[in-house]
Amino acid sequence: QVQLVESGGGLVQAGGSLRLSCAASSSIFSINAMAWYRQAPGKQRELVATVTRGDSTNYADSVKGRFTISMNNAKNTVYLQMNSLKPEDTAVYYCAAALRPILVLAATQDDYDYWGQGTQVTVSS
């Protein structure tokens, strides 16, 4: 069983930065990939970024060049560094973990076995 706990959300002005963290309760070496998804009010949950244990990454077009996902195996934690934030980045951000190998460019929400409770990110204009 893997438990995921997100932190780092909050309120920030447009152009600012936030760093989200997702701590996994079990050894990160049992996890093949992790991802950040987000869900804005009235919208479907969408992929933000994915990272595999082999350090392959994938980003949504809307965040490329602004967000960076990284996995720290020693600390069982995945990070999402968010820079140049925009009001449209406002959403609840969820961390997800996959125990099986995934196709980093084609993974869907169904490929992930565990989800965190979410952390709110609000970007004011």
Is the confidence at residue 63, as pLDDT, over 90? yes
- Radius of gyration from C-alpha coordinates of the chain: 13
**How many CA atoms lie within 13 Å of 118's alpha carbon, on the beta-carbon side?**
12
Confidence of residue 25 (pLDDT cuts 50, 70, 90): confident
Is the confidence at residue 28, as pLDDT, over 60? no
pLDDT tens, residue by residue, 66-120:
999 999 866 578 999 999 999 999 999 999 999 899 999 889 999 999 999 999 9
Amino acid of residue 34: M
Q: In what order do the strands lie in the sheet with 18-24?
A: 4-7, 18-24, 77-82, 67-72
Is the confidence at residue 54, as pLDDT, over 90? no
CA separation for the pair 50, 36 (Å, rounded): 7
